[in-house]
Amino acid sequence: MDEPRFQDDSLSSDMESCHRLIASLQAQITQQASELSLQEKLVEEQAHSVLELQAASDKLQERNTELTLRVEQLLQQLFGRKSERRVNGEGQLFLDLGEEATLEVVHALEEAVLEAEQIVQDAEQEKQRRGAKRLYRDDRKFPEHLPRTEKTVDLPEEQREGSTLIGYDEVESLHCKRSELYVPVTRYAKYAYPADKTQGADQERGIVSPERPTGLVEGNRLDASIGVIVVAWKYFFHLPFYRQQDLFAGSRWTPSRSTLQNLETNVEFALRPLADWLRGYLKTDRCIGCDETGVALITPRNLPDLSGHPRRDRITEVLGEAIEKGKPSVKAHFWGYYASRLPVVAFDFTVSRHRDGPDDVLSDYEGNLVGDCWSGFQKIDVRSDSRMTFAACWAHARRKIDECRSAFPLQVAKLESLIRMLYDVEDQNKTLDDTARRSRRQSLSRHALDQIDEYLGSEAMQSASVLPKSNLGIAAADVRRHWAALNRFTEDASIPIDNNDCEQLMKRVATGRKNWLFRGSLASGERGSNLMTIIGSAIRKELDVHAYLEDVLRRALAGETDWASLAPHAWKAEHPEAIRTYDSEERRQAADRKRVRRARRRRLKK
């Protein structure tokens, strides 16, 4: 009986061991499952961390690329070439016209090549002719109208003994003398008439003197010529008042800066109607270019009197906010307007870069407005009730594309070559009338535009090669967004392909800003815009600015109000001696060089 009991005890012990083993295994499995769960969570957290690090790395890489491009742009602005022209087609592709080119386009290309060959041949012949003429010409003499003094240098008497005088060698030497101030004294006679006894004993004797002309300042202590010099020095030669003081001091007269400012104020007041007339005349053109640039305006202590000012609300808002926040200055803006066909320019001054500036100046204008793709120019046709039509500038679009050259050399070279085709067509259209120009734009320029449109939608410009947020992607998107405005020049022959003429005009403001640095008041900015309107129009007609200003100012002070006859283009016809012929000659030579350069490039494409 004992043996079965022993077997039962043994079996029970084995079962308990098995249970303990199973429990231990279960505990180990549970522990391992828990550890595995923790490891999975750790792996998941690490995966999230890796993704976050990857996203941060991508953002940093994108930021690094953006900053690198920005550094390249700044270096280009500081040390790079200012001209946008590519020397000898550097980086450009020679393009064919495509298989879809029409016979008219092919024929036009053949004509362009033949014309280019003729231009180059004529240029070579002219170069040889000038070279031959230079070999045999006499020494250039100074202008005959310059005053001359003669001085004879002879040998000592002891060396002249036994010799015969056979003539003289004349040597002309140009000298310069510092400008001199002089003070004419005008004596006005005074006559006294005896009292008329019949009118009573208290009748005073009458004193009569000749009528005195209207002077620039009270008492005519400073002549109009001084005011003309002050204005011409500041807005033509870009000399601030403190430098003008030094120049006048060299002539032994040292005016205060307030005196110089008062002279500028009086000149502007006398010629303000002429500036207003020029602005009105500019708006009779079919097409106007517009551009702007910033300038610092010193914040006044108190708001100026703006009673009756057409922009009172905007000025009050901007200057009031600056005064409240204690800003030392605000960024004001000079606006330039360039007539496409008429010989006139205009300037305007605003306290901010707001579209109410052009809207106010062009409030009664009907025609085309050319400019960059600034948001204020967009929808101007809607704001003006279809009085104006906006045309975008191809030079501005090309500039944005050219900034992407380092990152996308092939795409940029292709696009710039296509854009160059547009400019080649315009170069050939310069001598044509409006009908022929519009016809060639509709055929040749339209064909080049179609190729640009096709390439912008090609695989080379898709996201696989050009990301939408890259600089080229953004530039291409801008071209797409303003495509209708960029094509508008093909619809009207009066619209130029770009706004370069107006942008060149704004260089006068930029050069002046580097010298006089800021505008001291709202009135100073508005005075500057009026004077630059008059001087800029005179420069466009290649006039001697000093001679023009002095004659016009004296006639205005004398009471003349026929501003049409005082405008630069009308005044030029009456005063051919005041035309700067050297300036027109330099412009002609520069245009000829550009024409030959483009002809040589077109000839290489045949």
pLDDT single digits (tens) 29-57:
888 877 777 888 888 888 888 888 888 88
What's the pTM value of the predicted model, to 2 decimals?
A: 0.80
Query: C-alpha angle with apex 57: 56 to 62, nearest 5 degrees?
Result: 100
How is residue 585 written in tokens? 């000659």
* Nearest alpha-carbon partner for 265 in 516, 520, 507: 520
Work out the pLDDT band at 20, boundaries 50, 70, 90. Answer: confident
How is residue 282 written in tokens? 């500019």
Count other Cβ atoms within 10 Å, centred on residue 550: 18
How is residue 365 written in tokens? 């204008």
Whole-angstrom Cα distance, residue 43 to residue 134? 86
- Give bridge partners of residue 392 from the DSSP assignment: 371
The region of weakest confidence among 1-5, 131-135, 406-410, 557-561 is 1-5
Work out the pLDDT band at 28, boundaries 50, 70, 90. Answer: confident
Q: For residue 203, what pLDDT is reported?
A: 47
Q: For residue 228, what pLDDT is reported?
A: 96
Mean pLDDT of 158-172: 87
Whole-angstrom Cα distance, residue 174 to residue 153? 18
Whole-angstrom Cα distance, residue 517 to residue 298? 11
How is residue 572 written in tokens? 């030029």
What type of residue is 308? G
How is residue 98 written in tokens? 């495509």
More confident residue, 125 or 91: 125
Q: Which residue has the tokens 């029970």?
A: 12
Q: For residue 603, what pLDDT is reported?
A: 65
Whole-angstrom Cα distance, residue 7 to residue 92? 102
> For the chain, give me the number of helices (H) and strands (E)?
22, 8
Q: What pLDDT, in 10s, does the model give residues 472-529? A: 999 999 999 999 999 999 999 999 999 999 999 999 999 999 998 899 999 999 999 9
Q: Which residue has the tokens 């245009």?
A: 591
Q: What pLDDT, in 10s, does the model give residues 247-256? A: 999 888 999 9
The region of weakest confidence among 187-201, 208-222, 270-284, 415-429 is 187-201
Mean pLDDT of 339-365: 91
Q: For residue 41, what pLDDT is reported?
A: 81
Q: For residue 71, what pLDDT is reported?
A: 79
Whether 128 has a pLDDT exceeding 90, the answer reads: no
Sorted by where each begins, the domain ranges of the chain are 233-393+499-604, 415-498
Phi and psi for 336 in degrees, rounded to 5?
Answer: -115, 140
Q: For residue 596, what pLDDT is reported?
A: 79
Q: For residue 84, what pLDDT is reported?
A: 61
Q: For residue 599, what pLDDT is reported?
A: 75
Q: For residue 7, what pLDDT is reported?
A: 55
Q: For residue 316, what pLDDT is reported?
A: 92
- How far lies 264's CA from each of 224, 258, 268, 537, 565, in Å? 11, 10, 6, 18, 23
Whole-angstrom Cα distance, residue 121 to residue 113? 12
53-58 contacts: CB < 8 A, separation 24 or more? none
Whether 93 has a pLDDT exceeding 60, the answer reads: no
The region of weakest confidence among 9-18, 257-266, 410-419, 569-578 is 9-18
Q: For residue 138, what pLDDT is reported?
A: 47
Q: What pLDDT, in 10s, does the model give residues 381-433? A: 888 888 999 999 999 999 999 988 888 889 999 999 899 889 988 888 888 89
Q: What pLDDT, in 10s, does the model give residues 305-339? A: 888 888 899 999 999 999 999 999 999 999 999 99
Q: For residue 90, what pLDDT is reported?
A: 42
Whole-angstrom Cα distance, residue 523 to residue 505? 22
Whole-angstrom Cα distance, residue 269 to residue 217? 11
Q: For residue 205, what pLDDT is reported?
A: 56
Q: For residue 162, what pLDDT is reported?
A: 84
Interstrand relation of 367-371 and 287-298 (parallel, antiparallel or unpaired) = parallel
Q: For residue 110, what pLDDT is reported?
A: 61
Mean pLDDT of 205-217: 84
* Nearest alpha-carbon partner for 411 in 372, 359, 449, 467: 467
Whole-angstrom Cα distance, residue 263 to residue 215? 11
As a whole-number percent, the residues of the chain with pLDDT over 70 amount to 85
Whole-angstrom Cα distance, residue 521 to residue 499? 30
Work out the pLDDT band at 261, boundaries 50, 70, 90. Answer: very high
